[in-house]
Structure 1
């Protein structure tokens, strides 16, 4: 049977269609459920093997990006969400979804503490919204199940608050020690980048995405669901002429890895 993935929709999020399509292309069954309906019946979560916090601008990014959405999840869904994690299911978050996950405390998820925020996603160093394509480097030593087998990949970003930051040096040290820095912004040579525009927000250690130590909970600022088809790439026509056009959008690989993990359980 196809694994079932919960796509949480709600006020201000706007990537439900492409996110659901990504999971379906990867071989899963995606079901969209509004946050209000989930709060009314939180036991619905037990019917799913995976969950996705999607991109957009939840609640208008009131106070900070993902803040209100995270509060609603923590105060109404904490018990079921903890059970979801304890049952070794998978969770993915993209952009606003990643911001929400860090504010809930799901990432980096040290020592099985999933509701104590340890990092922030703060305003880009440039001070404003950015919308373009970046190069990503995936860390081969990371336990992340979504990035397994991946090396480098172009992907679009569109955010104003994407800088991973903490005042605690020990938190970054532990992130690196446990391989939780699953994805980094990279330059053309594939090396971690700290300078704009290769690093669009000034994120510490060029981190573009984090996983928890189990590798089953993962979030990133770039949008893999926006690169499901080769033609999504801005230079697809040039790639076609020079023979480098991939057979599918490269972002789909992350969703395929998630489905493969669930199918092997």
Structure 2
């Protein structure tokens, strides 16, 4: 079960709604006072999602989220000078997720975790007083940016949720930052009018935000923040117009639209944890793996892999195909980015994704070139540092190489932050493979 850590204390007051949202979505929710984390009694690394709820941290005396953000940036949590911000950066590098709502969104922006275009957690935008000059407490309609890669918003087009804030106006300081945010699709949520168009008009845009922006993600899609409150719309009956809506559509779901965000991230984490099939016994040269004509027993007659895309037996295929289908539907942000760069023969070869080879599903493979490309949470990070997982990966790589494949591994950070280098490495291996083929043909 995915585990969500929800911080409270110092004026935060939406922690119970947060916990209810995660429990309804199928996660384990734990509420702790921030001091328990700062004093080392609770580690964020024991959780999958770190959450900053709404409220009025430190009374907003110096501006919303400012004091709490400074506490996280400068308060040392260990003798070596490490801060909680350092831990959060490692948390994200390990492939985990951070969510901030309202005051929590303000904290993430003041920390520089959003939008974090430069990757160095330097504040690049800010949130300030509403253009209306007043506290806004109303329902708004949001549209999801189709260019956004964050799993929090996967499959969502529009949603209606309430806002409750006095300082929710996003200010982007210059045209270059604005262009960079838009080019990367980091402005993931926009306020829209009655026609569904992005708008700066009050009250559809309740605070006058630049880019009509109600929420941001970082380039990885793992850090997400928004001003409106999805945790305040978990049941259809939370909506002020629920009675009329029920009369118009008695069969409508009793779930509130805000719950979809929490279901999305919980399902995404659970999907990534689908167990790999067990490692197969090592095969020898007399039993190559391929799928040509099948016998009744499910064994495979060897075929040319160049001509035949099936690289497992029918029996194994029956086990693996559902895993492969699910993994194609729920790619990680890094997998999605790399697939866009590989698909359509962009590197002059045809890649397949989530393809079954023997007893494994590989992320990407070009079969004629016998090259497999894998994307991991972190090559040397938490997931692949565990002994059992490391042993499994070693056996997996050994078997794939025994079958004649070369295996390249890249971490999430490499793909998301240095895609050109990743593609260059892949191209170099493809060039080397082609040169080897030519030498063998001429020999």
Q: What is the correspondence of 1:127-166 to structure 2 with a 5 Å cutoff?
A: 127-166=133-172
Q: Distance in 2 between matches of 1:140 and 1:42?
A: 40
Alignment check: 8 A CA contact 1:3 1:28 kept: yes
Q: What is the correspondence of 1:53-202 to structure 2 with a 5 Å cutoff?
A: 53-76=52-75, 77-113=84-120, 115-202=121-208
- Deviations along 1:127-176, one digit per CA (max 9) or x if unpaired, are 11000101111112211111111011111000010011022111111110
Aligned with 2:231 (options 225, 230, 247) = 225
Alignment check: 8 A CA contact 1:209 1:220 kept: yes
1:36 and 2:35 correspond: yes
- Report the 3-state secondary structure (helix = DSSP H, G, I; strand = E; otherwise coil) of the residue aligned with 2:153: coil
C-alpha displacement at 1:112, in angstroms? 2.3
Alignment check: 8 A CA contact 2:217 2:224 kept: yes
Q: Distance in 2 between matches of 1:165 and 1:145?
A: 25
C-alpha displacement at 1:234, in angstroms? 0.6
1:235 and 2:241 correspond: yes
C-alpha displacement at 1:17, in angstroms? 0.5
Alignment check: 8 A CA contact 2:147 2:184 kept: no
Distance 1:194 1:42, change over 3 A: farther
Partner of 1:22: 21
**Larger of the two Rg values belongs to structure:** 2
Q: Distance in 2 between matches of 1:23 and 1:172?
A: 33
Flag structure 2 segments of 5+ consecutive residues without an equivalent. Answer: 76-83, 273-443
TM, length-normalised to structure 1: 0.97
Alignment check: 8 A CA contact 1:166 1:172 kept: yes
Q: Distance in 1 between matches of 2:71 and 2:207?
A: 27
- Deviations along 1:177-210, one digit per CA (max 9) or x if unpaired, are 0000110000111110110000000001110000
Q: Distance in 2 between matches of 1:20 and 1:58?
A: 18
C-alpha displacement at 1:43, in angstroms? 6.3
1:9 and 2:8 correspond: yes
TM, length-normalised to structure 2: 0.58
1:251 and 2:237 correspond: no
Alignment check: 8 A CA contact 1:208 1:222 kept: yes
C-alpha displacement at 1:260, in angstroms? 1.4
Alignment check: 8 A CA contact 1:43 1:80 kept: no
Q: Distance in 1 between matches of 2:9 and 2:271?
A: 31
C-alpha displacement at 1:247, in angstroms? 2.7
- Deviations along 1:211-236, one digit per CA (max 9) or x if unpaired, are 01111110000000000000001100
Q: Distance in 1 between matches of 2:180 and 2:263?
A: 28
C-alpha displacement at 1:264, in angstroms? 2.0
Q: Distance in 1 between matches of 2:202 and 2:242?
A: 24
C-alpha displacement at 1:74, in angstroms? 1.1
Q: Distance in 2 between matches of 1:137 and 1:82?
A: 28
Moved over 2 A (4+): 244-247
C-alpha displacement at 1:42, in angstroms? 7.0
Count of residues paired in the alignment:
263
Q: Distance in 1 between matches of 2:139 and 2:263?
A: 22
